[in-house]
Structure 1
Amino acid sequence: MTKAAPAMHVAVNTSRRTNKSGVEVEYRSVLLRRSFREDGKVKHETLANLSALPAPAIDTLKASLAGKTMVEAGVALQITRSLPHGHIEAVYAMARGLGFEAMVGPACRERDLVMALLAARICAPSSKLATLSWFADSTLGADLGPVSTDDLYRAMDWLGTRQAQIEKALVLTYLRPEANPEKLALFDLSSSWVTGTHNPLAAHGYSRDKKRGVERIEYGMLATRAGIPVAVRVLPGNTADPTAFIAIAKEIQALAGVEDMVMVGDRGMITSARIQDLKNTALGWVSALRNTAIQALAEDQGPLQMSLFDQQNLAEISHPDYPGERLIACYNPALASLRKRKREELLDVTEERLKTIQKAVTAGRLKDAGKTGLRVGKTLGKNNMAKHFTLTITDTTLAWERNPETIAREADLDGIYVIRTSVNEDTMGAAETVRVYKSLANVEKIFKTLKSRDLHIRPIYHHTEERTRAHVFLCMLAGHLTWHLRQALTPLTFTDEDRPVPEEPVASVHRSTAAARKASTRTLDDGTPARSYQALLRHLGTRTRNTMKMTGTTGTFELLAAPTETQHQALNLIHDHATNHRK
């Protein structure tokens, strides 16, 4: 084997001595040395004394020994290619700062491709085939070398085998008692449509995307109270919400290693039947009552009366139908006004639709009472308005009138909602319980990020169960990094930095004066432009990595464009966020 050449370097030594006249003089020597190892020790050999050389010559020699390309003065430079790099640099800086890249897996080709897929999902979400083209038009193409679709699929398969390990690491990081003293875990379910006809997970079910006539999959997201996704489960498209909740509830204890975790889910997720199942576990829960249950509490001088809210906007009540549970009733006047306006609009719209059917009956185009009833039923069911109308239908007539009793009964509960929980008051007070339930909005933000705002999880093109799960998991990991990026870059965006802590539990929180000023002037306090998160990501992408060439030569070298003030601030914010988060 060829012996490696000894490393050479320029050593600058400075010392102070007193001359014969008693004056202290600084002596400076510049030596060219080589380093070598002998008997296990590093030694240095002086090859030349460069002290007599001018400073520019010494600097040139030092740069050359450091591996830098020197350009002769007067030689013209050409930029042969410029590739977007700043947004990719931001994603990798966050991932490495958080220790996220190491958590994904050991260094290997598959991990490199998974990290590239995550960067692509955050910066330019698209299909895997389109992602390959994006690689070629960014610095990732040059860094990764040749990549095929088969390479990407192998990387996804590798990621799928590591999902359990990665999720356990995330749960231990974010839901362990030290990081999550409240022991809270948020869970919600969503769905996305699937292309093709061979995906075994695809099925017709309730469409949260309002896209009818297509098959879909469902996925349940587990998150921290702040809305950081830490685990995901993919289920067939026809799975009921409560079934999905129980499936993940059984896994959360094993993942977190915490017996007394508190699960938070909406009223459609944690139903009365699921609560009975949860009572057989050590899991606590926070949910809410359905409207029919709230009406039952208000009837016959029940515990829920408007007088509760004369002096405050929330109050704890109890009822024998809910043994061992706490009920916190809340009243929000703004919500009451919204519901009243919405109900009046729906009543008017429903009547207009009924008038259209009535004209068809009067004109003789609709002659059968049964067929008329079907059309009327479909119309009333569209907005759940059947309870508010009394109908008279014959073969030749259609008449209706509003039901003032049901409308008044519903109006009496406008703005009222009831939180139910198994957690005792010493652990979680009434106001905090309401805040915890309202934090489910953070999971909704995850789904918004996944579906349309940032990551575009849908439509799903994969046709196998394993790769469908890997695709959703990849999007969840991208959502995890996106959460951190959004938090870090908050000072440069329109996000409100001055929200009250803790927030008022019931009333709506309004934007602070500083946030309103940012939105109206579209500038930050220092006068630089304020941007949305996506606009800021695009701005970061304008920092290019340039391939340079000297005129008359064939060699090239790369030069990264100097960052703008905003780009410099963004990288500093990402570094600070990652550093603080790891402490």
Structure 2
Amino acid sequence: MYLRKTQRRNGDGSVVRYLQLANNRRLNGTTQAEVLVNLGREDKLDVAALRRLVASINRYLGDEDDVTLPLGTETGPLTVEQARPFGAIWLLDQLWHTLEVDKALAKVLGPRRFRTDIERIIFALVANRAVAPSSKLAAAEWITHTVAIPGLDHADKDQAMRAMDLLAGADAQSEVQQAVFFAAANLLNLEVDLILFDSTSTYFERDGEPEPDTDDEPGLRRFGHSKDHRRDLPQIVIGLAVTREGIPVRCWVWPGNTNDMTVLEQVKDDLRDWRLGRVVTVVDSGFSSRENMAYLQRAGGHYICGVKMRDGSAESREAMSRQGRYLQVRDNLRVKEVKLAADQGRRWIICHNPIEAERDQARRQVQLQAITAELDRIAAARTAHAAKAKAKAAQQGKKKTPRPSDAPHRKAECALRDHPSLGRWLKQHPTTGRLSIDAAKVKAEANYDGKYLIATSDPDLSPEDIALGYKNLLQAEAAFRTMKTTLDLRPVYHRLDERIVAHVLLCWLALLLIRVAERRTGQTWPSINRELGRVHQVTLSGPAGRLQQTTKLTPSQAQLYKDCAVALPPKMSGLQPAE
């Protein structure tokens, strides 16, 4: 390792020399100079101190000293100050710049000046969600004491909260999401003709709803239908739009008591402002009201939506009664288009999954066996109870056996009838009040095994494309699973609405970065994070100065960076000669 000089001649004939930290590397039988760090102009550097520092580095690495030092110059040994995880952070930072999130934030922040680098704080919080999710206080300590963040040495809780407040501004969140979306679409060549939308809820670790300041601003934390099965806690509703490749393009936050049927108009309007052109929106059956579907068709848009088949609607009954042959799309998917006389404005597609049909049949059989066993147990207990009462009456010499009370057995039958999953297969006889399996209900449900119904307004898509487009809705569900597990979206501890929104936006940005990494590498983020988490940045110091050195990459680690099309971490950085 040695100091390397380069020079540039100005127009006036003067020469400017620059210093670089370089290392000789043998490649294909020839020795080539590899520049590790560009140090700057020679006339603005302490060259003697740099020479002493390079000599210390060579001594630490066990290499021969390539730098000629003045006689009697003492360099001293280098000591290790600290070693911090760096590999996964470096990958996220490179993707952050590639997707131009930093430029989007700079545009939003404008000419305002801050004592801290707000963009770096926001990136550090996003990286924390992806690498080691924690609270904002713990995240500040993680940034300061645990990991190496490029361009950021330390952070505290107040700086994190300030950055979140700026990110959650109405103009900021819209502009950032739009800028990031178009940068990602151009970079990844995303197909944005199909937008998948779904919603979920996440809860707070608080006892109740906050008291509203005014009737017009009730706040986000509200009780509602919890998709996390936590009706005892207040919550918010989160909407997410993703592409067919699973890349999240936008997110929304609504109060916890928001009905799914009421949000599609805002989703449609917000995406229309981006002027995406002809877009087909894919939604689940929870959004399939006629008003929503009509709104999605505005401005030339179209929709693909799921329709509930077991709700007894006229459309589902008519669709199931139509005859026709199924078209084999894949091993586990067959489709059939049917026409309904009652609705000429929409196309209807029945999808059949043979594998799922077998699962439905197996689950139903298990439930029926459990019901039969319970009914037999109740009947046996009733018979035993009656026999015991008859024997007791005979022992007492009574000529007429009193009718035994069957209150315990009635209670068991009522519990079985009201069971959330088993009660649907039972019927109660009007005269005796006894329970039995409803054979007609079982036969009717068997017709729906492995089937689901799709409606669309697009006149050009083939039934195969419609079915596959709807199956892509699984990408939105997978995104929510990742946000709730890998990124620890829930539970939320923030109180202010703007910080609640910022928390969701940080999770959305983290999801965007890890989805890009997964798409480029073909590996899951936990495996990428685990492998690159072994790459550390080591800080070395000595009498001549200090620097950061990155641990040597393994072939698998280098391949991950190569697959993501980002630069490898620098071998040496932060070179600081002693003053």
TM-score surpassing 0.5?
yes
Q: Give the Cα separation in 2 of the matches to 1:577 and 1:434.
A: 40
Give the deviation of 1:465 after TM superposition: 0.9
1:435 is aligned, of 455, 465, 468, to: 468
Q: 1:309 to 1:149 in 2, by over 3 A?
A: same
2:436 is aligned, of 364, 387, 401, to: 401
| Percent identity of equivalent pairs | 24
Matches within 5 A, 1:56-95: 65=47, 67=50, 69-71=53-55, 73=59, 76-95=77-96
Give the deviation of 1:457 after TM superposition: 0.6
1:308 is aligned, of 325, 329, 345, to: 325
CA contact (8 A) 1:263 1:284 kept: yes
> Partner of 1:448: helix, strand, or coil?
helix
> Partner of 2:565: helix, strand, or coil?
helix
Give the deviation of 1:141 after TM superposition: 6.5
1:43 is aligned, of 6, 14, 25, to: 14
2:156 is aligned, of 145, 148, 159, to: 148
2:551 is aligned, of 545, 553, 561, to: 561
CA contact (8 A) 1:357 1:376 kept: no
Matches within 5 A, 1:291-330: 291-292=309-310, 296=314, 304-305=322-323, 308-309=325-326, 313-330=334-351
Q: Give the Cα separation in 1 of the matches to 2:145 and 2:319.
A: 69
2:175 is aligned, of 155, 165, 172, to: 165
Give the deviation of 1:316 after TM superposition: 1.6
CA contact (8 A) 2:204 2:493 kept: yes
> Partner of 1:548: helix, strand, or coil?
strand
Are 1:125 and 2:133 an aligned pair?
A: yes
Q: 1:271-313 deviations in whole A, cap 9, x for unaligned?
A: 33422444555431001221137885675896533x5238783
Q: Give the Cα separation in 2 of the matches to 1:294 and 1:435.
A: 25
Q: 1:407-448 deviations in whole A, cap 9, x for unaligned?
A: 1111123222222100012xx211111111111011111101
Are 1:104 and 2:141 an aligned pair?
A: no
> Partner of 1:291: helix, strand, or coil?
coil
Give the deviation of 1:340 after TM superposition: 0.7
Q: 1:329-377 deviations in whole A, cap 9, x for unaligned?
A: 22221121111111222333455667788899979695797x7787455
1:263 aligned partner, one-letter code: T
1:194 aligned partner, one-letter code: F
Q: 1:73-116 deviations in whole A, cap 9, x for unaligned?
A: 58543322111111111111121223232223358611110011
Q: 1:113 to 1:356 in 2, by over 3 A?
A: farther
1:432 aligned partner, one-letter code: D
Matches within 5 A, 1:167-186: 167-173=177-183, 183-186=193-196
2:176 aligned partner, one-letter code: I
Name the structure 1 match of 2:227: 208
Name the structure 2 match of 1:541: 533
Matches within 5 A, 1:102-501: 102-106=103-107, 109-140=117-148, 143-161=151-169, 162-173=172-183, 183-196=193-206, 197=208, 200-254=219-273, 256-258=274-276, 260-279=278-297, 282-292=300-310, 296=314, 304-305=322-323, 308-309=325-326, 313-350=334-371, 375-376=415-416, 378-379=418-419, 382-383=420-421, 385-392=422-429, 399-425=434-460, 428-452=461-485, 454-490=486-522, 493=523
CA contact (8 A) 1:84 1:544 kept: yes
Give the deviation of 1:389 after TM superposition: 1.2
Q: Give the Cα separation in 1 of the matches to 2:405 and 2:121.
A: 66
CA contact (8 A) 1:288 1:418 kept: yes
> Partner of 1:292: helix, strand, or coil?
coil
CA contact (8 A) 1:324 1:422 kept: yes
Q: 1:565 to 1:406 in 2, by over 3 A?
A: same
> Partner of 1:407: helix, strand, or coil?
helix
Instruction: Give the alignment's TM-score, normalised by structure 2.
Output: 0.73
Q: Give the Cα separation in 2 of the matches to 1:322 and 1:340.
A: 31
Q: Give the Cα separation in 2 of the matches to 1:417 and 1:203.
A: 33
> Partner of 2:351: helix, strand, or coil?
strand
Give the deviation of 1:479 after TM superposition: 0.6
Q: Give the Cα separation in 1 of the matches to 2:221 and 2:373.
A: 38
Q: Using the TM superposition, name which of 456-465 and 287-296 deviates more.
A: 287-296
1:77 aligned partner, one-letter code: L
Q: 1:348 to 1:215 in 2, by over 3 A?
A: farther
2:166 aligned partner, one-letter code: W
Name the structure 2 match of 1:525: none
CA contact (8 A) 2:304 2:470 kept: yes
> Partner of 1:208: helix, strand, or coil?
coil
Q: Give the Cα separation in 1 of the matches to 2:532 and 2:189.
A: 31
CA contact (8 A) 1:82 1:544 kept: yes
Give the deviation of 1:190 after TM superposition: 0.6
Q: 1:177-225 deviations in whole A, cap 9, x for unaligned?
A: x956662211100111112245531222222223342221110101112
Q: How many pairs does the alignment contain?
A: 480
Q: 1:466-492 deviations in whole A, cap 9, x for unaligned?
A: 1101111111111111100111221xx
Structure 1 residue runs of 5 or longer lacking an equivalent are: 1-7, 12-32, 47-58, 494-531, 579-583
Instruction: Give the alignment's TM-score, normalised by structure 1.
Output: 0.73
Q: Give the Cα separation in 1 of the matches to 2:318 and 2:288.
A: 27
Name the structure 2 match of 1:52: none
Give the deviation of 1:536 after TM superposition: 2.8
Q: Give the Cα separation in 2 of the matches to 1:175 and 1:142.
A: 26
